[in-house]
Amino acid sequence: MAQSVVQPTVTPAAVPVKLPIRAIVPWAAFFGILMLVLLYFVGAEQGATSLVSGENVHEWVHDARHLLGFPCH
């Protein structure tokens, strides 16, 4: 009669990963500013607050304006 011997496997305990906050903060600030610029062009680049003359920027982001609920026309 054959007997099998099962050795208990030892799994290492989960080690929490340390997030390098000092490495993340500059990227978070960069993407935050980028998102604010994008939000400006989508939401406020029209009429009196327009930085670029003409309607080109407004036409490019027109659908995004409606999607985000900015008043348009």
List contacts with Zn ion (CB under 5 A): 72-73
Q: Do residues 66 and 43 make contact, with C-beta atoms less than 8 angstroms apart?
A: no
Instruction: For Zn ion, give the closer residue by CB, 28 or 38.
Output: 38
Rounded to a whole number of angstroms, the minimum distance from the CB of residue 58 to Zn ion is 8
Rounded to a whole number of angstroms, the minimum distance from the CB of residue 63 to Zn ion is 8
Rounded to a whole number of angstroms, the minimum distance from the CB of residue 36 to Zn ion is 22
Rounded CA-CA distance 18/13 in Å is: 15
Angstrom CA distances, 12 to 9, 15, 18, 43, stand at 10, 9, 17, 51
Instruction: For Zn ion, give the closer residue by CB, 33 or 72.
Output: 72
